Amino acid sequence: MTQNKIKLNIFSENIYENLQIDERKFINKAKKILRYYMSKPDVYSSSCLNGLEFDTISFDFLYCDSKKTHEINKEYREKDYPADIITFAIFADSEEKIIFDGEINLGEVIIALDKVIEEAEKKQCSEEEELSFLISHGILHLLGFDHQTMEDYNFVVGLQKEALKAIK
């Protein structure tokens, strides 16, 4: 099975009214990012997908505001602050790797678009660049990558930058 034959089902919903985004464009960008990560043998072999047989990968994006990520953070993570991104890596975090009819559901990435706007202003970059950065970050979490140490953080951020540069 080559990665180009793998079907990608990525769904998104934007419930944040103050920033309309081209969801189709970002779904296509997410597909390119995921294919890039899967093309890197060291990344693929360290991911939650390594050694498994499947023909479809699916996951979701929810675009909202930081009020919503605060609620989610409090309820599910027992953290009392708004986040720019929250990832529920269902497949990577599961003891059982359930593959149903050849499909792996990696989970969900939740992104606060008001935080995207804030960070883009701080970093002096476009909102599209900041959102792309968070999308690439969320995908790595879905694949089972974390950044509890500075070394892991540098690896993840370096990989994100590399992927975004490669798919331009």
pLDDT of residue 50: 95
Q: Cβ(59)–Cβ(109) under 8 Å?
A: yes
> Could you give the dihedral angle defined by the CA atoms of residues 48, 142, 161 and 3, in that order, rounded to the nearest 10 degrees?
50
Residue 14 has pLDDT above 60, yes or no: yes
| DSSP calls for the chain | --GGGSEEEEEEEE--TT----HHHHHHHHHHHHHHHHHSHHHHHHSTTTT---SEEEEEEEEE-HHHHHHHHHHHH---S--SEEEE-HHHH-SS---BTTEEEEEEEEEEHHHHHHHHHHHT--HHHHHHHHHHHHHHHHTT---SSHHHHHHHHHHHHHHHHHT-
Q: How many CB atoms within 10 Å of residue 6?
A: 17
Residue pair 113/69 in contact by the 8 Å Cβ criterion: no
Please give the pLDDT value at position 13: 97
**Residue 1, pLDDT score:** 43
Could you say which architecture CATH assigns to the domain 3-166? 3-Layer(aba) Sandwich (3.40)
Model confidence pLDDT, tens digit, residues 63-82? 999 999 999 999 999 999 99
pLDDT surpasses 60 at 2 = no
Is the pLDDT at 27 greater than 60? The verdict is: yes
Q: What is the mean pLDDT of residues 11-37?
A: 96
Domain residue ranges in the chain: 3-166
φ, ψ (nearest 5 deg) of residue 51: 80, 5
Mean pLDDT of the residues in the chain: 94
Global pTM reads 0.94
Q: How confident is the model at residue 168 (pLDDT cuts 50, 70, 90)?
A: confident
